[in-house]
């Protein structure tokens, strides 16, 4: 049986927190930011959790 390998791109994008929660960064925060409000840009800086619908797929990529 071969070794189970971690999906390296997923390992760079997600962090596993205590209790099995998975943290991710928000999308749409890279360029063309001048037209967006300060409040929207500030909220994009914060991390958030992976939704329960995607949690199984993400954990499988991280081989947890």
**15 lies in some domain:** yes
**19 lies in some domain:** yes
Chain segment 2-58, per-residue pLDDT in tens: 999 999 999 999 999 999 899 999 999 999 999 999 999 999 999 999 999 999 999
Give the number of domains in the chain: 1
Q: How far is CA 18 from the centre of its chain?
A: 15
> Cα(31)–Cα(5) distance, rounded to whole angstroms?
33
**1 lies in some domain:** no
**39 lies in some domain:** yes
Tell me the backbone φ, ψ of residue 11, rounded to 5 degrees: -65, -30
Number of Cβ within a 10 Å radius of residue 11: 13
**44 lies in some domain:** yes
The answer to whether the predicted template modeling score (pTM) of the entire model surpasses 0.85 is no
64 pLDDT higher than 80 = no
Detail the DSSP E strand segments found in 1-64.
Answer: 15-16, 22-24, 48-49
1 pLDDT higher than 90 = no
**2 lies in some domain:** no
């Amino acid at each position: 049986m071969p070794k189970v390998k971690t999906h390296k791109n997923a390992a760079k994008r997600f962090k596993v927190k205590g209790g099995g929660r998975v943290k991710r960064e928000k999308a749409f925060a890279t360029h063309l930011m001048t037209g967006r409000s300060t409040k929207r840009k500030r909220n994009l800086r914060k991390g958030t959790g992976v939704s329960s619908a995607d949690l199984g797929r993400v954990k499988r990529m991280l081989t947890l």
